Amino acid sequence: MPRIDVAAVPKINGSGYPKPFDKPCAERERQRLGDAGGLADFGVNLMHLPPGNWSSQRHWHTAEDEFVYVLEGELTLIEDDGETVLRAGDCAAFPKGTGNGHHMINRSASTAIYLEVGSRSPSDITTCSDIDMMSSNADGRFVRKDGTPLDGS
């Protein structure tokens, strides 16, 4: 089995969200381990989330399952039904099409590390729960929920 040299995988800081929606995720760090291993059907990201940062805007997927596994630290999972603390060894799954908006916030004093796994459906639409924004895997553009462009995108 091919070993992935994690130290050699590029670190991507921040998010691809347009301003000002990028600010809560500005210091997160992602390493695309699935890409480094040549995976095509699903992605695996090693995430580092410093204190005070969000994993993403709260969102849900129409055609993409998501899974997270906490390796180190503590995160607060926020979804439609409330908040749940996740610690090292905890995991959470987000089936596609549920409409249950979710994200995690690091409210602790140290960086949390977790794995993020998701399918790569080209037909997926990501809808943000708390803001007027969505995006399509087909083109990666961020638009308003009515399909009109966001300023600057």
pLDDT of residue 150: 85
pLDDT of residue 1: 57
Strand order in the sheet with 12-13: 12-13, 29-32, 42-49, 112-119, 66-72, 91-94
Helix (H, G, I), strand (E, B) or coil at 86: strand
113-138 pLDDT, tens digit each:
999 999 999 999 999 999 999 999 98
How confident is the model over 61-71, as a mean pLDDT?
97
- Per the model's pLDDT, the better-predicted residue between 139 and 28 turns out to be 28
**pTM exceeds 0.85, yes or no:** yes
82-113 pLDDT, tens digit each:
999 999 999 999 999 999 999 999 999 999 99
Check if the beta carbon of residue 84 is closer than 8 Å to that of residue 77. yes
Check if the beta carbon of residue 74 is closer than 8 Å to that of residue 87. yes
Q: Does the domain formed by 32-143 have CATH 1.10.3720.10?
A: no
**Extents of the domains making up the chain:** 32-143
pLDDT band at 152 (very low <50, low <70, confident <90, very high): low
Q: Extract the tokens encoding 20.
A: 């000002």
Determine the Cα–Cα distance for residues 126 and 41; give it in Å rounded to an integer.
18
Residue 111: CB atoms within 10 Å = 17
